[in-house]
Structure 1
Amino acid sequence: MAANRPNQTSNEEEDSPTDTNPAFPDSPTIPPGDNNVTEDPRLSISPSNPGSSSITSPTTTPPSHANTFNPSSPAHLSNRPQPTSSSNQPNHRVPTPAGSQSPIVTVSTTTRRHYHHHGDKRRNYQGEPHIPQAPPVPPAPAPSMYWSKIRTHDTMYWSKPRTIGDPPPACRAHSSTLVDKRLFIFGGGDGPEYFNDLYVFDTDTLTWTKPKTSGNIPSRRRAHTTAFYNSCIYVFGGGDGVRALNDVYKLEITDMNNLVWQRLETTGRPPISRGYHTSNLVGNKLVVYGGSDERNNWTKVNIENSRQRLSHTATQVGSYLFIVCGHDGVRYTSEVLLLNLVTMQWEVRKVYGTPPSGRGYHTTVLYDSRLFVFGGYDGHSVFDDVYVLDLSACAYLPQITNFQLPEF
């Protein structure tokens, strides 16, 4: 039975793998960041209809010359072509009216442009974004995977849109499951508090709702995982503040006015209780990898050359799981592992470029044949950077859909 693309979850900064409390206690104190985020005035909600929102996209004035480049592509690290001209006539500029936010620069078609490099930066002309030049890195073979650090600007910019309704309380180690254009947020915690509430965020209307649920509601928990299959959201594992869990619940969401939780009685040998693992829906099977149990011990999987991980991310790309970063029981790593879902064997491939520093509790999203990695925590620092892993020759993997997991 076909299912939507599996949603991987990644838990935010939480517990150090050396913590001794068996129920995933609160994480070490992290210095607070700047929470005073200024809302982008270019994002507005129409007051004429309070039940819906109208988003006005910001207008970006592109550079006035044709010599542009894509800073998110490794290609900009090579020799960039320089504009040429046979004339040395000066630029002719139109005076900027007072209060203008987008000065218009008119450049003669015969104007010569000179670029001056100072250290790792180049001069930015009027109308151009400020983009520091990336440090040089060794070239990589064309078919190889490649790390790049993204500088967010122009079309890659962060914004904090205004939302409607009551959002969930501040929490971490919750799960977020994408179903069509809605995010289903479940559980999580804040310090000693653990939650089992369900919130829904509509990405079209930017509206938060807290639907009423009934039935056998899961206990309060965090560090669990969720998956969407056959009109149901499945919840597995986590910790409730006292112990680690390995129970399974499902919530059918066909009728949003009648949401009933059900605890499943499973057969076979279940995984031991754990949290900070990952789970991926592959066909009609849920693949659970890594994590830690109530004794902070590792689970040995019957795979040759078993690799230990927690607080990592696992993203399905065709017939592979891409395991990115996480803690290996000794340190935080930036390693990329590939689990072949057909042979159930690990594969290690060389990755070029500049990788992110070792970290866990980050998030990884597959989009347009690239893996976008954001944020994370390494036991000392909280990150807000963005990295992209270009899959290159592995980009065809999402087209591989005709395969089956081996029987165990």
Structure 2
Amino acid sequence: MYLIGGWIDKGLYQSNVIYILDLDSLEWEKKPSIGQYPGPCNMHTAEVYENQIFVFRGGDGQQYLNDLHSLDIDTFKWIEVQTKNTKPQPRANHSSCLIKDEMYIFGGWDGFKRLNDLHKLNLRSLEWLKIDVKNDILPLPRAGMKILHIEDNIYMFGGSGNVNNGQNQLICYNDFWIFSIKDNYWNQCKIQIKGLNTNSQQSIQPRSGHSFNFFNDQIYVFGGSNGNNYFDSYIIFDVNPKPQLIANDNMDFDNFFLQNISSFYNQPQFSDIIILVQNQQFYAHKIILSSFSENLKMMFTVGMAETKVNQIQISDITPHVFSILLQGIYNRNLSLQKKIWKILIYFLMFIKLVISFWLKRLSFKFNNIQPKLLILIIIWIFQKKLNR
């Protein structure tokens, strides 16, 4: 196993040293090299092709780079590889994989923004090509994700990106994608955990900077981090049979959108309103709430107090019950379990009491916003249930 470069001394310096681990004796060896070595590098990638290791930088602690070097593992001589066509823009914390004679580069961070572009380099002709993806449904721009190849597909998991909420907030992802190199097409995969009937993806901790390896029909994910939370756990994805896809060639955008709304439940990504229930925060999205109810749309658009605030508070309900109601919207699951409907029935008398209150105050002259969102959510769910 070869180890090339990386952060050292708590991230203060970048290394250009090569270490080799003998997997039989488990002994490390520091290996000298000659030639045009790439210099200090971090957040780079390396792929083995024939008797060479190709290193695509990456950063050196001062700038972001897009140079390519190869190391001959017989002579330990470095050369700087001169490629043809337009290179990928400089970046770090990208991911790469090798498929036959081609090295693929995805995503990363260029110092200003995260990326979701895909490039490939033919290692025989040394020609770069930016891949023209055939569909509009792409993984969000990210860095720190990992990719690998299985047969003629690229599998990707995790990474981190920015939330467009004006606060430049950084979050990690737990989504799983497949790219078909034959069709130049991205598809998101549905994740199902054995023995778990709820939304499985929500139970997988988002992360970036993890390991991602394939062995014996299974992908192994280990470690990674989410903010200051570092993981020592592992996840195993069984990819035989091939994972169920959320989107495919026969699915239009509307169906894709509806099936993926659930992934935004209580997620800060793109959230523009926070709902407080007994001091517990629920992240929500006005556009999703409004798209399912004209009453909610009116509340957010016609000058009520909620129109101008990004945080509201609801009382007289527990966080657990409210989470069930909110999931009813995001999952579009109107066939809720019987126990959930029992909980909702308890609110019928409450609704009866507050409807008159709602109608009287429809003049928009009130500021008490605590019960309104709860009432509208419950009314919407019951209306949908009764109209089926």
Q: TM-score when scaled to structure 2?
A: 0.49
Larger Rg: 2
TM-score norm. by structure 1 comes to 0.46
